[in-house]
Structure 1
Amino acid sequence: MTPCLPLIAVSALVTGLVGVPQPWVVTMSAVSGPPAPGRPAPAHPTPGPAASGPGSAVPAVPVGPVGPASDVVEHVATTALDSYWTPERMARAIPIDVLSTIKQVGMAAARILPSTASPAPSRSPEAAPAGARPVRQARQARRPGASLAVTSGSKWAAGGAVTRTTGRVFLTMDGVDFVCSASAVRSANKDVVVTAGHCVKDGAGSWAENWTFVPGYRAGQRPYGAYTARRMFVAGPWARGGNDDYDMGMVAVTTANGRHLGDAVGGQEIGFNARRGLRTYGFGFPADPPYNGEHLLYCAGVVHADPQGQTRDQGLRCDLTAGASGGPWLSGFDPATGRGRLTSVSSFKYSNDHRTMYGPYFGAAARDLFQSAQRA
């Protein structure tokens, strides 16, 4: 059995469980059916298309107290040991999307998932399970700064701040090592990382352990160090029931080599209540075939409402695969500088539409999370 077969076996089992594509959400953290009757509406209403302006950025200065209506769930993290994330363990970590597979197949997963002693799984295109829908290979932009405005998946070659602020997250959930994507943002404490909620907490389940952010990751390198979690924040609706409208997480990290994250790499601006339908760039480190998680990739286009009406999220044409979860969505993005305003993160795809990535709308709930995280 080749090193990649355990993942193939897991994927095959999930295919048997899920069956033909259905018009319900397959999140990057859980396989779920249609919303249950009487599903409660999100606690924070989402502004409609009439909202104006590109969104309100939050300056890197202290903000007022979180109001009584805020619904933030906090967790004090156990600092990951520097010795835990060895290059070999990082290479073996799998996209957190497979977490749903573990839950679906139960004990069978324990027999087929790679152990910590296994060699690194292959991520080549040939490793895709038989019958799986092929994912198009990434397309390289012709030249930096040109033809970057629309793509469903390309390597980012234009440089700029986004190459420093975007990174990979390595974490352990229920004893299995996983990978996600994330971004550093400007904050009062210079320590805030924004990612998907399922990259921090498994809905109503476990909190992540050994959570570590590596900004500027490239081919196994840690050019700016590694920053471990000290406090984690998710929205209440996510923590209580995995509500996809709130699949967002923010983490206050420790210093590395005596430096705050913001001092080492800077940070993207974060915005809330942005006008819907903006041109957006989504970044991440997809790790399932045909990608291997070693390079920063991106999608770009105009976001749109969820046509299936299951969420208040917005969709972006995007072929990026598992591992891109939690990667930043930047509106008002300038390819020349690599800076924009973070208004969402990669969250899920529908089982019958593998070419569209969805991300939660950053409104009042995201603002409350950020206020809590930048004061931590």
Structure 2
Amino acid sequence: MKHTKTAVITAILALAFALVGIPAQAAAKPFWTPDAMRAAVPMDSLVRAPAVTPKDVARGQSTIIQSIPNGGGPWTGGGKVTQTAGRVFFLFNGQKASCSGDAVTSTNGSVVVTAGHCVKYQGTWHTQWVFVPGYDNGNAPYGQWAAKTTLTTPQWEASEDINYDVGMAVVNPLNGQRLTDVVGAQGIAFNQPKNQSMYTFGYPAASPYDGTKLIYCSGSTFTDFLLTQDHGMQCNMTGGSSGGPWFLSFNEGTGTGVQASVNSFGYNFLPGYMFGPYFGTDAQNLYNRAQAA
């Protein structure tokens, strides 16, 4: 009799929940709330490494990621870049951190390009990784896209070689849609001639910037004459812009271009310049892996 009463009560409660629309379990609160995104610090501020000096360069010592990169001013041109570019949020050794990224054309419609140190650094793969295209001061106008998988070049994965500081993420569908079906996509190219004019975008979050606006620089590029074979550009973006896209053939009217690098690093003794890795065959192989995932 006791078991029968229990069963009857359970059935009545289940019917009542169904009638009033009370879920059996409350929806999980998203990890990256607006406050959590605002509180995320630029990735480079969590990296402790010795400064590189001109003497170090003379001795041929390796460079490090420092105040990743530098910028020009807020982008007010509109266009597709305001949808494809966004902020990247993740946990680095348990701490909330941020970078930048960009959605590019791909077979799976789900590839985000960023810097290698924005997916893995000091032997640690980042967790709770999401891409927020069109980020706007804590708001995610096109949603938060969680990574299904993150990848990087073999050289960055093995030894974090600054020449190959390229990372990519394949994000899960959101509300049944693929990323680039929602925000569009930029082109991407590899093995392009160097020393061309380019545009670069990112969400710098270290002073004097605060991560709320899309910042850009444009101008002629040069090949790093110090320690790497990277692209260089005069630009003053700060930490948090790492992983933001560098474009060839950028059209200010439509906000579209062909991505050929990402914001990677700056020399602490050479302020006002940023550097980005050359998209060669290794970056192309990484892209092929990502779009097939």
TM exceeding 0.5: yes
SS in 2 for 1:262: helix
Query: 2-side partners of 1:238 and 1:300: how far apart?
Result: 27
Kindly provide the amino acid, as one letter, of the partner of residue 164 in structure 2. Y
SS in 2 for 1:298: strand
Instruction: Give 2:74's aligned residue.
Output: 155
Query: Where in structure 2 are the equivalents of 1:9-158 lying within 5 Å?
Result: 83-101=30-48, 152-158=71-77
Instruction: Give 2:89's aligned residue.
Output: 170
1:140-185 superposed Cα distances (whole Å, 9 cap, x missing partner):
xxxxxxxxxxxx5111001000000000000001111100000000
1:77-135 superposed Cα distances (whole Å, 9 cap, x missing partner):
xxxx861111111111100002212x77xxxxxxxxxxxxxxxxxxxxxxxxxxxx9x9
Query: 1-side partners of 2:102 and 2:29: how far apart?
Result: 21
Matched, 1:348 2:261: no
Kindly provide the amino acid, as one letter, of the partner of residue 90 in structure 1. M
Query: 1-side partners of 2:273 and 2:208: how far apart?
Result: 17
Query: 2-side partners of 1:296 and 1:257: how far apart?
Result: 26
Kindly provide the amino acid, as one letter, of the partner of residue 293 in structure 1. G
Matched, 1:283 2:283: no
Instruction: Give 2:114's aligned residue.
Output: 195
Matched, 1:337 2:254: yes
Matched, 1:266 2:184: yes
Query: 1-side partners of 2:240 and 2:217: how far apart?
Result: 14
Query: 2-side partners of 1:292 and 1:173: how far apart?
Result: 20
Query: 1-side partners of 2:291 and 2:46: how far apart?
Result: 29
Instruction: Give 1:375's aligned residue.
Output: 292
Greater Rg by CA: 2
Choose the corresponding residue for 2:278, options 342, 346, 361. 361
Query: 2-side partners of 1:98 and 1:265: how far apart?
Result: 30
Aligned length: 249
Query: 2-side partners of 1:171 and 1:303: how far apart?
Result: 30
SS in 2 for 1:231: strand
Quick check: which one's helix share is greater?
2
Query: 2-side partners of 1:182 and 1:269: how far apart?
Result: 14
Which runs of at least 4 in structure 1 moved beyond 2 Å after TM superposition?
none
Tell me if the contact between 2:79 and 2:255 (Cα under 8 Å) persists in the aligned partners.
yes
1:347-371 superposed Cα distances (whole Å, 9 cap, x missing partner):
0000111211000000101100000
Query: Where in structure 2 are the equivalents of 1:233-312 lying within 5 Å?
Result: 233-308=151-226, 310-312=227-229
1:222: how far off?
Answer: 0.8
Query: 2-side partners of 1:153 and 1:355: how far apart?
Result: 10
Query: 1-side partners of 2:245 and 2:260: how far apart?
Result: 8
Query: 2-side partners of 1:235 and 1:369: how far apart?
Result: 6
SS in 2 for 1:198: helix
Query: 2-side partners of 1:82 and 1:372: how far apart?
Result: 32
Instruction: Give 2:63's aligned residue.
Output: none
TM-score, normalization by structure 1: 0.64
Instruction: Give 1:222's aligned residue.
Output: 140
Instruction: Give 2:24's aligned residue.
Output: none
SS in 2 for 1:263: helix
Kindly provide the amino acid, as one letter, of the partner of residue 285 in structure 1. Y
TM-score, normalization by structure 2: 0.82
Tell me if the contact between 2:38 and 2:137 (Cα under 8 Å) persists in the aligned partners.
no
1:278: how far off?
Answer: 1.0
Unaligned runs of 5+ in 1: 1-80, 105-132, 137-151
Superposed CA RMSD in Å reads 1.7
Matched, 1:212 2:130: yes
Unaligned runs of 5+ in 2: 1-27, 51-66
